[in-house]
C-alpha cells in the first residue's frame, strides 16, 4: 500500500489494493466490527487525524471521524475548507497540506479536482487518504463497497455486476471497478444515460483484465441474472450544464419495484449515497436493499484502514 517505496503510506487510488491486501484489510474490518461491540483498549491512542474537506460530505467525513475516535485517536477537522481555510485567501493545496501535516498524523482529503490527492501526497509529511478527488477516485468508498459485497454474497469471484447511473462522473464507480477487475469471472453491465458513459480508458482496462463488459438500455433489462446492482446519483455539480435528455433518460435507470421484480432473489442493491430519486424509497423495505447496511460498514472498514496506515 505504499506509493513511495519505504515512504509514507498514502492511499490515493484503489489500484494500490491487491486481493491479498484486501483479504487482510477485510479480516481486520471483521475484527473491528467485533471491537465495536465491546470495550477494548484503544489501538491508536494519542494519534491525530485531520479531515480536510473542500467538498460537501456526510458519510465519508463522519464515518472517518467516528472510526478514528473509536480507535482511541483524536480528530481535527475543517468541514468546509473551501470557505473556512486559508484557501479563500489564495493558499495553494500544497501549502495547506504541508501545514496540516505538521498538526496531524494523517490527512483525509476531499477535493473537487481530479489528481488533488496525488498532488497532496507528493508534498505531505504524513499519510494522505483520498476521500474523493473530483470525478477521479474514491478508494475508501470502494473498500467499503467491496467489503459489503463480500459480506452480503459471501464471495468476490464470478460476480455479475450492474453499474448504473452516472458512470462518467461517479468516482465511486471508477474506484470500485478497479477493485472488482482483480477478481476472476467478472461480468459487468453498464447501464446509464448515453451522455454519462464510463470513460473509454476505464472500459478498456476492464476488458483487458478479462472481464466481460456489455451495455444495457434500461435497468429493467440489465438486472436479469445480476448479483449486484450498484446504483449512483447523477453528479449534477460536475456537469457544465444540466443535461435535459439525461434527466429524461434517467427514468429508465431508476430502481423501482418493477426492477426489483426482475432482479434475482439472491442479489443486492447498493448505492454509495446520497440518493436523489434514483432508488424509489418503496424499495427500502426489500431485504435485497443493502445500501444502509453498506453505509454502516464505513466505520469498521475505515477503522481497519486507519489502523494499517497509522499502526506500527
The footprint of ligand NCD (CB under 6 A) covers 59-60, 132, 138, 141, 171-172, 233, 272-273
Catalytic residue among 8, 35, 40, 59: 59
**For ligand NCD, which is the closer residue by CB, 56 or 264?**
56
Complex with ligand NCD: residue 132 or 193, whichever CB lies closer = 132
Closest C-alpha to 132, from 21, 13, 258: 13
Q: Which of 138, 174, 178, 254 is catalytic?
A: 138
Catalytic residue status for 271: no
State yes or no: is 207 an active-site residue.
Answer: no
Q: Max alpha carbon distance in the chain (Å)? A: 55
Count Cα neighbours of 130 within 13 Å in the Cβ-side half-sphere: 33
**Residue 208: CB minimum distance to ligand NCD, A:** 25
- Of the candidates 60, 148, 172, 232, the residue annotated as catalytic is 60
As a whole number of angstroms, the distance between CA 299 and CA 70 comes to 9
Kindly list the strands in the beta sheet with 160-164, ordered across the sheet, starting from the edge strand earlier in the chain: 212-215, 187-191, 160-164, 228-231, 268-270
Judged by beta carbon, residue 33 or residue 134, the one nearer ligand NCD is 134
Q: Is 51 a catalytic residue?
A: no
**In the numeric block, which cell numbers belong to residue 267?**
442479489
Residue whose C-alpha cell reads 476531499 in the numeric block: 110
Nearer residue to ligand NCD within complex by CB, 161 or 273? 273
Q: How far is the CB of 256 from ligand NCD (least distance, A)?
A: 19
List phi, psi (to 5°) of 259.
-65, -40
* CB of 298 vs ligand NCD, minimal distance in Å: 8
- Could you list the active site residues? 59-60, 89, 110, 138
Amino acid at each position: 500500500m505504499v506509493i513511495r517505496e519505504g515512504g509514507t503510506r498514502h492511499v490515493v487510488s484503489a489500484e494500490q489494493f491487491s486481493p491479498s491486501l484486501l483479504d487482510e484489510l477485510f479480516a481486520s474490518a471483521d475484527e473491528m466490527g467485533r471491537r465495536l461491540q465491546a470495550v477494548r483498549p484503544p489501538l491508536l491512542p494519542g494519534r491525530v487525524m485531520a479531515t480536510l474537506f473542500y467538498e460537501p460530505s456526510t458519510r465519508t467525513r463522519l464515518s472517518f471521524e467516528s472510526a478514528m475516535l473509536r480507535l482511541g485517536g483524536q480528530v481535527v477537522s475543517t468541514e468546509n475548507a473551501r470557505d473556512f481555510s486559508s484557501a479563500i485567501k489564495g493558499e495553494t493545496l500544497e501549502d495547506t497540506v504541508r501545514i496540516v501535516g505538521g498538526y496531524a498524523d494523517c490527512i483525509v482529503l476531499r477535493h473537487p479536482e481530479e489528481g488533488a490527492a496525488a498532488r497532496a501526497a507528493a508534498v505531505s509529511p504524513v499519510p494522505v487518504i483520498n476521500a474523493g478527488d473530483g470525478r477521479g477516485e474514491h478508494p475508501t468508498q470502494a473498500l467499503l463497497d467491496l467489503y459489503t459485497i463480500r459480506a452480503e454474497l459471501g464471495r468476490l469471484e464470478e460476480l455479475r455486476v450492474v453499474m448504473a447511473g452516472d458512470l462518467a462522473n461517479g468516482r465511486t464507480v471508477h474506484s470500485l471497478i478497479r477493485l472488482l477487475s482483480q477478481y476472476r469471472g467478472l461480468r459487468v453491465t453498464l447501464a446509464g444515460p448515453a451522455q454519462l458513459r464510463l470513460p473509454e480508458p476505464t472500459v478498456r482496462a476492464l476488458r483487458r483484465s478479462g472481464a466481460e463488459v456489455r451495455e444495457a438500455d434500461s435497468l429493467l433489462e440489465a438486472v436479469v441474472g445480476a448479483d449486484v446492482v450498484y446504483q449512483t446519483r447523477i453528479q449534477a455539480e460536475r456537469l457544465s450544464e444540466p443535461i435535459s435528455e439525461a434527466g429524461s433518460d434517467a427514468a429508465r435507470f431508476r430502481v423501482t419495484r418493477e426492477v426489483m421484480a426482475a432482479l434475482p432473489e439472491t442479489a443486492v442493491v447498493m448505492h454509495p449515497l446520497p440518493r436523489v430519486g434514483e432508488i424509489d424509497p418503496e424499495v427500502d423495505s426489500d431485504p435485497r436493499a443493502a445500501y444502509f447496511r453498506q453505509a454502516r460498514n464505513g466505520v469498521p472498514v475505515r477503522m481497519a484502514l486507519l489502523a494499517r496506515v497509522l499502526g506500527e
